[in-house]
Structure 1
Amino acid sequence: MLIKCPYGLCVLGLTLLPVLPSFAKPPIVAIDAGHSIAHSGATSASGKPEFDFNAALATIFSNFLAAQGVQVIKIGHDGMMADLLQRPQLANAAGADFFLSVHHDSAQPRYFRPWQWEGKTLQHTDHAAGFSLFVSRKNPHVAESLRCASALGKSLRQAGFYPSQHHAEAIEGENKSWADQINGVFYYDNLVVLKATVMPAVLLEAAVIANRQDEDNITKPQVRQQMAVAVAKGLSACGVLPPSH
């Protein structure tokens, strides 16, 4: 007979059974491909627009989660969504449980150097590399957003990825406050897609594509798939997805 459940443990005779969360319906996760064709974001070391990287990785994340039974809301994947506010509005209207905006990073112009690529003079940097995660303290679920960002960062580190430190530099254009330095999480309060969502929200900068090695690495299919697995594990760790993911 079930006697009591103190601190999430049910006592049955002498056996302690954990009380697991109940997922009565598939979780709904909004996957936002950052930027658009018209406003394509950063430029990679080889001259490619950031949006191309964002759309490719967001699609891999979406397909992987959908295959696990997650209900995925794709936002901005076709590159036609120029209105930033429309992105959180779509997630809000869909009743999403979590919002993940997928981006790729750059660095400040002072760190760029010229190099030759396919007969063109382009810009690159070796100053920064790795992933970064952002949350907004203006999000109504900032504690949950931070918990999931930290879980994502931890899962990415365990998968062999590493966080960048460059957004904390005390220079113009950076100066972001750490939210969780070990796991690569910063506060970025005024990002529209993070502050206008009514559910926990995180922005992921998957790699610094202005860095030649980072760009080459993040375009490999196996690396993108590895990152998708790590993201799913992170979302499971913070309770967005069931523990089996």
Structure 2
Amino acid sequence: MVVAIAVFALLPIEVSDAGWLPDLFRSSPKHAKSPKRAKATRAAKLARHRAPPRHRAMRLAALGPVTLPLSALKPAAAKCDPATFRIVLDVGHTAQSEGAISARNVAEFTFNLRLARLIEERLKAEGFTETRLLLTEGKARPSLFKRVAAANNLHADLLMSIHHDSVPNKMLEDWEFEGKKSHFSDRFSGYSVFVSRDNPDFKTSLRFAELVAGEMKAQGLHYAEQYSQAIMGRYQHPLLNKDTGVYSNDELIVLRKTAMPAILLEAGSIINRDEEREMDSPERQNLISSSVASAVKEFCEPRWALLGPP
């Protein structure tokens, strides 16, 4: 950094504002300027340099392109205030449209509501008193738009939609539980976290998703790898982080239509007979809720230092 500044002071420099571009640079052609326009041009440049660009792209005569992040030019962002930071916990599905049915004939909505309430309790205990539980009524598709409208009206800082996983119908096998016909699939297990590239703040959504997935992995949990496999057909999705299990899904209304950063957590598989038992246990529920709380606290710390956000 010191060397770059020294060279910057001695060599000719071309400075241009750069937006969020894939190559991080956006150059403008040079034009000859008449003496009459020199003063106005210098004033215009000064005004541009005072504006807050995301990056400064510098072309040093001897060193070539160098990118300095905005965070290197100003102090790191302040942490949020837990007392005013609002997280909306969206309970997946409704009492009228219960989602998947577990291997032991329990509706997904029951699992979702129980875990969401526990996460709400944990976040409030950690000082995030503005946490809101979002319960929606109605049939499947209409309820999706209802929950998006409700979340937007709450002016939340983050939204987290809570679900429990199953598999496509073609993968289900038959069995009986307590004398009732049911279905199961022990082929896959694990959590997964989804974001949408169509969310108005995809970058922040991805950051939060990676924190949640990272905390769950740190607790010894593994992510569901099947969503990256061709066998999933139309349910196959791009894996954005192969280390922690963050996927992209641009079809989820609750992720792409909300005004705030949003993620969807599939906490675990309830169609897998062994994992269903684990998801039903207080130990696993506490493990997940503490992972989410840790991720929110980390999210609220300064999110970038001198080298910018990860």
Structure 2, unaligned runs of 5 or more: 1-70, 304-310
1:109, distance to aligned residue in structure 2 (A): 2.2
Asked if 1:165 corresponds to 2:218, the answer is: no
Question: Which of 260, 265, 269 lines up with 1:199 in the alignment?
Answer: 260
Counterpart residue identity of residue 168, structure 1: S
Tell me which residue corresponds to 1:62: 120
Asked if 1:232 corresponds to 2:293, the answer is: yes
CA contact (8 A) 1:27 1:241 kept: no
Asked if 1:178 corresponds to 2:244, the answer is: no
> Higher helix fraction: Structure 1 or Structure 2?
2
Q: How many residues align?
A: 228
C-alpha distance in 1 between matches for 2:241 and 2:162:
19
SS at match of 1:147: helix
Tell me which residue corresponds to 2:95: 37
TM-score normalized by structure 1?
0.86
SS at match of 1:173: helix
Counterpart residue identity of residue 265, structure 2: L
1:93, distance to aligned residue in structure 2 (A): 1.3
% identity of equivalent residues: 30
* 1:41-64 Cα shifts (integer Å, max 9, x gaps): 111000111101001101111111
Counterpart residue identity of residue 37, structure 1: A
C-alpha distance in 1 between matches for 2:144 and 2:74:
44
* 1:113-165 Cα shifts (integer Å, max 9, x gaps): 22221012311011110101100111000011011101110000111211001
Counterpart residue identity of residue 117, structure 2: T
Question: Which of 195, 208, 228 lines up with 2:269 in the alignment?
Answer: 208
C-alpha distance in 2 between matches for 1:189 and 1:157:
24
1:241, distance to aligned residue in structure 2 (A): 9.8
SS at match of 2:235: coil
- Greater length-normalized contact order (CA 8 Å, ≥ 6 residues apart): 1
The change in CA–CA distance for 1:22 and 1:47 in structure 2 (over 3 A counts) is closer
Counterpart residue identity of residue 80, structure 1: E
Asked if 1:93 corresponds to 2:150, the answer is: no
* 1:22-41 Cα shifts (integer Å, max 9, x gaps): 52852100000000111111
Tell me which residue corresponds to 1:147: 207
Tell me which residue corresponds to 2:9: none
C-alpha distance in 2 between matches for 1:122 and 1:28:
40
Structure 1, unaligned runs of 5 or more: 1-5, 11-17
Tell me which residue corresponds to 2:8: none
1:237, distance to aligned residue in structure 2 (A): 2.4
Where do 4+ consecutive residues of structure 1 move more than 4 Å? 6-10
The change in CA–CA distance for 1:8 and 1:81 in structure 2 (over 3 A counts) is farther
The change in CA–CA distance for 1:168 and 1:19 in structure 2 (over 3 A counts) is closer
1:103, distance to aligned residue in structure 2 (A): 0.2
Question: Which of 126, 137, 157 lines up with 2:186 in the alignment?
Answer: 126
Tell me which residue corresponds to 2:131: 72
TM-score normalized by structure 2?
0.69
What is the Cα-based RMSD across aligned positions, in Å? 2.2
